[in-house]
Structures are given as structure tokens and as C-alpha cells.
Amino acid sequence: MERPYVLEDFRSLKKPALVALVRRQVSKWPQKTFNPKTNMPTICAALLDPANGFTTDLPILALGNTNTAQNDTPIVPAAQPIAQPRVTPEPQAEDMNDTIPVTPVRERIDGGLPILPITPVSLGRASIMGHTPVCVYQPATGAADCPFQSPLVSDQFQSSGQTDIVETQMISRVIEVTEADHRECGPGEWRVSATEVIEKLQEAPAVITSSTPVRVGIPDELRPEYTSWFIEGDVLFLAQVVARPEYLKVQDSTLELHVMVGTPTAPYSKRFKSYQTALNLRSYSSDEDGQSSPRARSSLPDDAKPLDIARQRLNDAEIQWLQDLVGAQPGAERFKENRGRLLQNVDIVFQWSFAVTFMAAYNRKPCGVPGLNNRLITKKKINSALGISETWMGVAEDSLGRVNVYGRNGTHPADDVIKELETVCDIPNGSGSLSRFLAKWEKDHPI
């Protein structure tokens, strides 16, 4: 008998399996066509949305047992920390499915998470590079000097009367993001949306994987030995959780993240995992008109050619010129303040309208920067100036088009759509929910 999907159905599934579930009932996909490149959180949200009507004929119990052999195999720890860690061959960079090696914890900071050693790692574009050795610790329960007992993992993350296993990992990855602004930043610093960082980390192959809730944090600005957590939630929907703070400060195009995985609410998993991720963040510049892309926001190498230096300066000048134009638009402050937040539907429509209107006004128009008068402004530059991603802009354009058809002042106003657009909830559902509603309405009510 068919039943709706529940979150547990997706715990052990990888993207190909999720795509297969959609293809099984592709007619229920909320948009006109299904793109298999759609990210995992969006696919899961669509499968779980009762309005779409996706169902499965598998019993919940059977699904719950499918990943036992794969994910729940207990680690057999050593009686004490391994004196000479076992060295395994270094993984090939091109094999993104290789197990990322684990590095032992070297020291502990009182009241905080274990601090992981950071060593220089060669960064490959969109790749994860790791190094051995591997080491697993089993601290004695209740020991006063247990390196994994701290206020941050007590209460919520401690198991009752049991010994927990802690794994630590070091990961290095290059991701490409949109520079948000330079507010309260020093030389060589800029800010990036925390939500965008999480989204880019979770693009295949995902950096953060877990069947339990996770925490993601950064070293505290005043006390780097402590971790300041900015987001917590289920991995499948982590990118939809409101981050606090909403923006992270990047220095010299690098960002260090701490990730903690593990909770006693899942009886099949008694492990805590702590990742230390060194990110190299690149702010994308346009490659549509012969400009170098991507470009790091830090200074160019000492041996950079004068032409490359001149191009970067012109690119920076064009982005700054566009940002000044954004700031001069009516409603710019509201747009900036709302960006990255969980909004009511009326505010979501405002965000869509502001971004789409600015895009329509300046896309493919001549640039006003001296020396660039013959260059046409590109969508990528506009997205960068607005502080949004290309995907977000695409959703905004599609959704606003539907609002202009079915909304209050639309060409074919519909009462149900008007009611949804003006609904105010105690806890907002967010732009993803509203865009899916509009797409489904358009599909079910063709004009």
C-alpha cells in the first residue's frame, strides 16, 4: 500500500537514489520538468511535501533496516590511543567517493571542542584532499581528563552510562561563493552568506554527511580556541536553516569551519564526529567577456602579469559600481536586511521583485565605469552585486512571473494564490515553500 514519504526514508540514500524516486513519479514534480542536477535538499523537500503527492510502497520498518550494514557498523576502539597510527595510502584526488582519512586530536581546550591540527594542504579545484594517519580514541567514561567531555557536548550529546566514540577529520576544499559586503572588515577581509557556504559544501560530493543532526561553527573571533556555532539542524535541510550570524567573515580568502555530528536520539549511532574544514573561498568574476574566472579576493601572486592585475582592478571597480547602484534603489536597505533570513510571504515577494527588477534594468546594459564603457554588464556581475546566487535569481524570476499572473494584481488572479501570498505565519515557511506552491498551482491550473 502506498504511503507518503517521511524523513527517515532518505537517511541513507545518495543523490542517484533520490533522483530515481522522483523519476518513479516524475509527473508529481512541482515544476514543469525535472532536472536531475537539482540539489539534494530541494529533492527531499519536494518528496516530503504532501502537496506534491509523492508516495512509496515500502514499509517504514524495512527502510529503517536498509542502512544498518552500511552506516551502523560499530567501530571497535583501541584500549588506549594508538601510539603509532596506521598509515594508509593517500586517496586519489579524482576519486571523490574515497573515504576521507581521519587525523588524531592533538590537544584540548578547556570548555570547548578538541582542537584539530591544521597543516598546509594543496588545494585542488572542487576537490577534497586529505592525509593519513588514522587514529580512534575511546576515552574512559567519567574520567576527569577525558578530552571529549566539555560543556558543549554535555547534556544533549552525552549518552547515559555508555562510552562514546569520537572521530576527528581534517578536510580541505575549494568552493566558489558570492562576496556579500565588507561591513566591519579589515584589510583582506570580506563577508559571505553562511547559507551559501553550507549550500556549496553540500554540493556533490557533500562535505557534511550524517543520519543525525549536526552543528557547524567557526572559531570565536575573540577566543579562537573556542567554537562559535552558527547553524544546527538535519543535514538534508541544513541549507534551509536560518544561520546566526547570517554572514561569516573571510580573511585572505580562507575560512575554517568546525562540524560536530552526533546525538543520543538515534539509538543505532553512539559516535561523535568532529570535522575541521579549511576552505578556500573564491568570489566569482564574469567569464562571459574574456575576464579571468574564478578570482580570489586576496591579492594576486607576486609574479602576476600587469594585464591580469589591471583586469582584476577593473572587475572590482565594476562590482563596486553595481553595488553603489543597488544601494541607491528604493527599498535597498530592506532588501539587504532581509537577505538570508526566513521571511513571511509578502517579504519574499518583495525580495524577488527587487532582485528581478534590478536585473532587468541593468543586464546587458553598458557599464558606467571609466574604461569599461564598451563592456556590457553580465548577469553574473549583477548577482554578485546583489549578494545572491544564480540559482536564487532563477527561482525568483520564475516565481515572480507566476505572482504576476495569479496574484492580486495579476492577469489571472486566483483567490487561493492571493490568500497564500498574504498569509502570515508564526514560523514562516520560507521562499522554497512558496516557490513550490506557485509552481504546483501553475501546473494544476493551466491557462
397-434 confidence digits (pLDDT tens): 999 999 999 999 999 999 999 999 999 998 888 888 99
What is the reported pLDDT for 315? 80
Residues of the chain with pLDDT > 90, as a percent, come to: 21
Residue with cell 549511532: 269
Chain segment 307-352, per-residue pLDDT in tens: 556 677 778 888 899 999 999 999 999 999 998 788 999 999 999 9
Q: In whole angstroms, how far apart are CA 270 and each of 76, 262, 337?
A: 12, 7, 40
**Residue 26 CB: number of other CB atoms within 10 A?**
11
Residue 71, pLDDT score: 40
**Average pLDDT value for residue range 74-84:** 37
Instruction: Please report, rounded to a whole number, the percentage of residues in the chain having pLDDT higher than 70.
Output: 61
**pLDDT higher than 90, residue 293:** no
Single-letter amino acid, residue 5:
Y
Whole-angstrom Cα distance, residue 137 to residue 183? 42
Report d(CA 96, CA 94) in Å as an integer.
Answer: 6
Separation CA 260–CA 138 (nearest Å): 17
- Give the whole-angstrom CA distance, residue 54 versus residue 25: 7
How far apart CA 347 and CA 345 sit, in angstroms, is 5
pLDDT digits (tens, 9 = 90+) for 136-149: 222 333 333 322 22
- Greater confidence (90 vs 169) lies with 169
Worst-scoring range by mean pLDDT, 83-92, 148-157, 193-202, 421-430? 148-157
pLDDT of residue 2: 83
Indicate the pTM of the whole model: 0.38
CA dist 343 to 46, 137, 327, 334, 348, Å? 20, 44, 21, 12, 6
Task: Give the per-residue pLDDT at 212.
Answer: 75
| CA–CA distances in Å: residue 259 to residues 145, 209, 238 | 23, 10, 12
- The identity of residue 90, as a single letter, is E
**Cα Rg of the chain (Å, integer):** 24
The end-to-end CA distance of the chain, in Å, is 35
What is the mean pLDDT of the segment spanning 379-386? 91
Question: Quick one: pLDDT at residue 133?
Answer: 24
Residue whose cell numbers read 580573511: 251
**Which pLDDT value is given to residue 402?**
95
Q: For the chain, what are the domain ranges?
A: 3-71, 107-283, 306-444
Which has the higher per-residue pLDDT, 239 or 196?
A: 196
Residue pLDDT, tens place only, 124-181: 222 222 222 222 222 333 333 322 222 233 223 333 333 334 445 566 667 777 878 8
Name the more confident of 402 and 371.
402
Distance CA(23)–CA(43), nearest Å, equals 11
Distance CA 299, CA 316 (A): 12
State the pLDDT at residue 332. Answer: 95
What is the grid cell recorded at 218?
Answer: 567557526
Most confident of 132-146, 181-195, 269-283, 301-315: 181-195
C-alpha to C-alpha distance for 101 and 18, rounded to whole angstroms = 27
Coil, helix or strand for 142?
coil
